[in-house]
Structure 1
Amino acid sequence: MPSNADMPMPVPDVAGADAGYEGLPDRSDLTTMQKLIVDTSAVADIGLRTAIASLVGASMLPTVAKSIVRRSDLHRERGNLEFYAELAARQDPALSFPAPTVLPTVSTRPANPVAQYIAHGNVQNMRFDSSFEPVNPKMRKQWKRLERNNVVWAQHWRHGDGPRPTLCVIHGFLGSPYLFNGLFFSLPWFYRTGYDVLLYTLPFHGRRAEKGSPFSGYGFFSQGMAGFAETMAQAVHDFRSVMDWLRDTGVERIALTGMSLGGYTSALVASADDRLEAVIPNVPVVTPERTFDEWWPANKLIELGRTFGTISREDSAAASAYHCALNYAPLVPRDRRLIITGLGDRLAPPEQSEALWEHWDRCALHWFPGNHILHVSQPEYLRRINRFLRPFMWD
């Protein structure tokens, strides 16, 4: 059973709450302090959204430019979109995200002393070769050239008395450093309460970024919509390989949480694999097509690509449904799903979490009065997560 370790207080503990049956609260239901925090954090988030959208746009620019100049690239991209749209229409996660068939051969080495100090325990960096093969045969040759991306990395915090229930964490876009995620999610606290912890690195981030990438995560959006689709497929595949390895080492109970893009990924994993004890998307992106349409200046590049490529918004959305959790039934039971959202979030607005909540049969939904990065009331929702997980992970 987890111990009652003291909860750190990294941010002001201004109360949030669980959503009611009707969903998130109306503005009139908030206290004066909550309204103030929501409004100020929303303004701050717009600046962050513009900065991130600029990086996404920079990633997309070469592909959009080539498709305008070289019509063959455009025709290939349109054919790929049709492939993913047809696959999405079948709504079969077993076809969209085939399970790994090979148990990974994992190598480990001790993490740096800072990580050991933060965790106050045994921390190992682990790696293995990805067995992922693109679901679209036309993308396989391109994917074989991605040497660094095709090596999977994670950091594992383990207790010395054998495998324990394990909380897995998937970072957001740009946010791959283990130290940042360990502190942001108060993972030392979860570790002290008894969990083993695993931090998973998404494709094209951190050590998986290809040589010459101007920033971590660049490859996520630099290969067109087909590349984004396959990147999400690989994110799911490689994490399922991690689960295979954990199970092989004796771990019986695995829970998954993720932030932003990691929340998007965690919701998708919960649609493809029934072995999770619980899933907790945190400020998740849910509908990327809608998100990108709101993210200036990336939305201008997307609009330009659609115009020159004669790709309609409907065709683009049909292809994007391939990697959207709203397209599939969740495989994790309803009482084991919890969504966290910020009312002032303008990168992944709370309406997106509410859409996932509706699709997930109005499961548990907890809101806090902050934005995408400033998680005001985080101590409260971390305690909420701990209470939520306890029956499934320990009892």
Structure 2
Amino acid sequence: MQDVDSTVASPQEPDDLPLPVPDVPGEDATRRGLPRRVDLTLRQRLIVDSSALADVALRTSIASLLSVTMAPSVAGALRRSQSAAERDHLAFYAELAAAKIPELAFPAPTSLPRVASRPANPVAEWVARGNVRNIRFDSSFTAVNPALREQCAGFVRNNVVHAQHWRHEDGPRPTLCLIHGFMGSAYLFNGLFFSLPWFYRSGYDVMLYTLPFHGRRAEQYSPFSGHGYFAHGFAGFCEAMAQAVHDFRSALDYLEHTGVDRIALTGMSLGGYTAALLASVDNRIQAVIPNVPVVTPDRTVDEWFPANKVVALRNWLAGTDSSLTEAAQMYSSPLNYRPLPAKERRLIIAGLGDRLAPPEQAEILWKHWDRCAFHWFPGNHVLHVSQPDYLRRMTRFLGPLMFD
């Protein structure tokens, strides 16, 4: 382990957060799991109920957008050749999933990325109150499925990896990496939402990683950030997840090359799903905190009207074997692999009012992760009304692991 500068103490609890939010306490889950409704205070119940209603409205809007995105795959299901190819793809990922070997499913990068770095805009440096660089490098990812290598290689913008690196002048320091959620790739938004300036001032270096098909990685004429994740069928989603893992590991290679050897990883929603998966693939992640994670996307989509109807129609037209689909979906699921960080280095955060990634999803991951630390708050997927409370929980969790 590197010696941390003696002037950098273990972070204190947050007191000056960038975004003013109510400090309504949540708690750690018990051995039984998440609390029942009767266990909540009246104030907590009111917040859970009202935030859940807001989430349902947001979920319907996003599901409607996804329905339009998936429309071409419904038309493709009418073509016999495309349906046959999709079944072959499902069988390929199902076979990989059945092996349960992360090294086979997610091959490691074989070369150090050639990183280009430039100063971020003045607003980013003002928010961080420090040195902020935008970095980029060419992805070395090759599609796991040989049948899709030509298609994936053709995504020109997506095959350039982007991240933002907040680094102290006397670094490297212990580094907190963040993976954003679906459609939520903006650096400024994530920096403020997750109070990253506070973590930076507390002594952490910070890296915000951009998922495939998001932000500057979105292909030309993409209607929104993240469109490509679901625009190429189930196989396309699998390859997007494989590339997300591969490119993040290349970013870790870069951090390691610059001298970083203490890395914590957190992520929200789709980013939480990716973070949990990475914790089963790369042993350089010393602490992992999935935040409102999705862990079974198929179950989640079942509740997302009208996207659930579009998926059902596509599967019916293609004559998809549901058991084959379920087996293939385990390819990118963190539930299919064992986590590498020790139990005391895992923390899961869930919102009781969340209806985009319901808290039951986080509870499934918690059980798979041997009932590790598990904190709940009474807000929903994007309105983390008790964020100061869970930031204090993150601080207590990370401090001894990253600085002592």
Report the TM-score when normalising by structure 1.
Answer: 0.98
Query: Are residue 140 (structure 1) and residue 128 (structure 2) matched?
Result: no
Which of 150, 172, 180 in structure 2 is aligned with 1:171? 180
Q: Which residue of 2 aligns with 1:49?
A: 59
CA–CA distance in 2 between the matches of 1:52 and 1:230? Answer: 22
For residues 210-256 of structure 1, give each alpha carbon's deviation from its aligned partner in whole angstroms, at most 9, with x where no partner exists.
01100100000000000000000000010011001100000010000
Report the AA paired with residue 26 of structure 2.
G
Query: Are residue 11 (structure 1) and residue 8 (structure 2) matched?
Result: no
CA–CA distance in 1 between the matches of 2:153 and 2:11? Answer: 46
Q: Which residue of 1 aligns with 2:165?
A: 156
Report the AA paired with residue 194 of structure 1.
G
Check whether the contact 1:158–1:196 (CA below 8 A) recurs between aligned residues: yes
Aligned Cα RMSD in Å? Answer: 0.9
Which of 182, 185, 202 in structure 1 is aligned with 2:211? 202
Check whether the contact 1:7–1:379 (CA below 8 A) recurs between aligned residues: no
Check whether the contact 2:212–2:243 (CA below 8 A) recurs between aligned residues: yes
CA–CA distance in 2 between the matches of 1:309 and 1:127? Answer: 39
CA–CA distance in 2 between the matches of 1:55 and 1:234? Answer: 23
State the shift of 1:314 in Å. 2.1
CA–CA distance in 1 between the matches of 2:336 and 2:267? Answer: 19
Which of 259, 262, 281 in structure 2 is aligned with 1:272? 281
Check whether the contact 1:10–1:379 (CA below 8 A) recurs between aligned residues: no
CA–CA distance in 1 between the matches of 2:58 and 2:43? Answer: 23
State the shift of 1:176 in Å. 0.2
CA–CA distance in 1 between the matches of 2:175 and 2:155? Answer: 30
Q: Which residue of 1 aligns with 2:101?
A: 92
Q: Which residue of 2 aligns with 1:74?
A: 83
CA–CA distance in 2 between the matches of 1:10 and 1:192? Answer: 18
CA–CA distance in 2 between the matches of 1:253 and 1:58? Answer: 42
Q: Which residue of 2 aligns with 1:375?
A: 384
Q: Which residue of 2 aligns with 1:287?
A: 296
CA–CA distance in 2 between the matches of 1:216 and 1:185? Answer: 20
CA–CA distance in 2 between the matches of 1:71 and 1:331? Answer: 42
CA–CA distance in 2 between the matches of 1:171 and 1:240? Answer: 16
CA–CA distance in 2 between the matches of 1:262 and 1:15? Answer: 24
State the shift of 1:378 in Å. 0.4
Which ranges in structure 2 are unaligned for 5 or more consecutive residues?
1-8
Report the AA paired with residue 273 of structure 1.
D
Query: Are residue 306 (structure 1) and residue 318 (structure 2) matched?
Result: no
CA–CA distance in 2 between the matches of 1:89 and 1:209? Answer: 31
Query: Are residue 250 (structure 1) and residue 259 (structure 2) matched?
Result: yes
Query: Are residue 326 (structure 1) and residue 335 (structure 2) matched?
Result: yes
Which of 110, 126, 133 in structure 2 is aligned with 1:124? 133
Q: Which residue of 2 aligns with 1:343?
A: 352
CA–CA distance in 2 between the matches of 1:378 and 1:317? Answer: 35
Check whether the contact 2:70–2:310 (CA below 8 A) recurs between aligned residues: yes
For residues 6-46 of structure 1, give each alpha carbon's deviation from its aligned partner in whole angstroms, at most 9, with x where no partner exists.
34262101110000111001111100000000011111100
State the shift of 1:386 in Å. 1.0
SS at match of 1:191: helix
State the shift of 1:274 in Å. 1.0
State the shift of 1:377 in Å. 1.0
CA–CA distance in 1 between the matches of 2:126 and 2:343? Answer: 37
State the shift of 1:65 in Å. 1.2
Which of 386, 390, 401 in structure 2 is aligned with 1:392? 401
State the shift of 1:173 in Å. 0.4
Query: Are residue 221 (structure 1) and residue 230 (structure 2) matched?
Result: yes
CA–CA distance in 2 between the matches of 1:162 and 1:280? Answer: 23
State the shift of 1:3 in Å. 4.4
CA–CA distance in 1 between the matches of 2:20 and 2:103? Answer: 41
Check whether the contact 2:164–2:187 (CA below 8 A) recurs between aligned residues: yes
Check whether the contact 2:141–2:243 (CA below 8 A) recurs between aligned residues: yes
CA–CA distance in 2 between the matches of 1:138 and 1:77? Answer: 11
Q: Which residue of 2 aligns with 1:40?
A: 50
Q: What percentage of residue pairs aligned between the two structures are identical? A: 66
Q: Which residue of 2 aligns with 1:23?
A: 33
CA–CA distance in 1 between the matches of 2:159 and 2:230? Answer: 16
CA–CA distance in 2 between the matches of 1:105 and 1:379? Answer: 38
SS at match of 1:257: strand
Q: Which residue of 1 aligns with 2:272?
A: 263
SS at match of 1:199: strand
Report the AA paired with residue 293 of structure 2.
P
Check whether the contact 1:370–1:376 (CA below 8 A) recurs between aligned residues: yes
State the shift of 1:57 in Å. 1.6
CA–CA distance in 2 between the matches of 1:162 and 1:219? Answer: 36
